[in-house]
Amino acid sequence: MTRAVRVAVNGAAGRMGTALCALLVHDPRFALVYAVVAPDSPRVGTPICGDNARALRCARDWDDAPAVDVVIDFSSPAGLEAALAHCLAGTTALLSGTTGCDAALDARLLAASAHIPVLRAANFSLGVAVLTRLLRDAATALPEWDVEIVEMHHRAKRDAPSGTALALGRAVARGRDMTTETPFVFNREGLTDGRSQGSIGFAVVRGGDVVGEHTALLIAQGERLELVHRATDRSIFARGALHAAHWLSQRAPGAWTLDDTLAKPQVES
């Protein structure tokens, strides 16, 4: 039997960190050996799960970290920077879902992937990863069809369209080999000149407690193809991250994507 993958969680007291730790302690594929929270967090020194004397306690930094195979980071850009430095020092794999990083940090992460395995995703849902792949293939196969992307989220979501909707739009552009700036259309109101050929339209719906729904429509004369993903539970991101972390623990240095972790169709000769 292969040994459990040793994991450290960065941002362990956050919503994602809490969900990850709750899954990790019951998952025999992993051993949760270290957990980092923000340096000023009231959780520093408190047990990560349970309350017994031997429970793993939250650390404020990486100084006392034991050897780990993968660091899973869902924190902040500053937290990710510290985790990256730790991973580079020990040639440890880094999986990160942290969003809002600036171009300089993006570039440092890319450069680090020459030395350590790095996997980043703005959405760790495996269903969305497959939707992205299906949409790219469909957009390539149907180059003349109009593409519209509709997303629906809970009433408190602030950014619009969602990062995932924009990523779906970029997948269409890649599938169609669009070299110039992708013609994304975000607003239609009043009298318009109609739909410009090759543009990708976005529509946003907000309400209630909707976790997340993305629909990609490919529309032609007399027929329409719809690809839909509905999230009903936020734990999908934690489950997808653990799937990817296990995969990443066996990989060489490189800039990996969630799509890389998914099986590819066998090509018939």
The residues binding ligand NAD (CB under 6 A) are 10-11, 13-17, 36-38, 41, 74-76, 78-79, 82, 97-100, 121-124, 237
Helix (H) or strand (E) holding 228: strand 223-231
CB 105 within 8 A of CB 81: yes
CB 117 within 8 A of CB 93: yes
Residue with tokens 């459990």: 4
Question: Cα(first)–Cα(last) distance of the chain, in Å?
Answer: 36
Residue whose CB is nearest to ligand NAD in the complex, by number: 14
Cβ proximity to ligand NAD, 63 vs 177, nearer residue: 63
**Closest C-alpha to 207, from 160, 142, 174:** 160
CB 88 within 8 A of CB 112: yes
CB atoms within 10 A of CB 188: 11
Cβ proximity to ligand NAD, 152 vs 218, nearer residue: 152
Token pair listed for 101: 């990083």
Count of residues making up the chain: 269
Q: Which of 153, 214, 229, 246 is catalytic?
A: 153
Q: Which of 26, 154, 157, 229 is catalytic?
A: 157
Name the β-bridge partners of 106. Answer: none
Cβ proximity to ligand NAD, 21 vs 116, nearer residue: 21
Q: How far is the CB of 228 from ligand NAD (least distance, A)?
A: 19
Tell me, yes or no, if 264 is annotated catalytic.
Answer: no
E-assigned strand segments in 97-194 = 117-120, 146-153, 184-185
Q: How far is the CB of 78 from ligand NAD (least distance, A)?
A: 4
Q: How far is the CB of 230 from ligand NAD (least distance, A)?
A: 16
Q: How far is the CB of 208 from ligand NAD (least distance, A)?
A: 19
Cβ proximity to ligand NAD, 14 vs 201, nearer residue: 14
Assign 118 to helix, strand or coil.
Answer: strand
Cβ proximity to ligand NAD, 153 vs 176, nearer residue: 153
Q: How far is the CB of 193 from ligand NAD (least distance, A)?
A: 36
Question: Which residue numbers are catalytic?
Answer: 153, 157
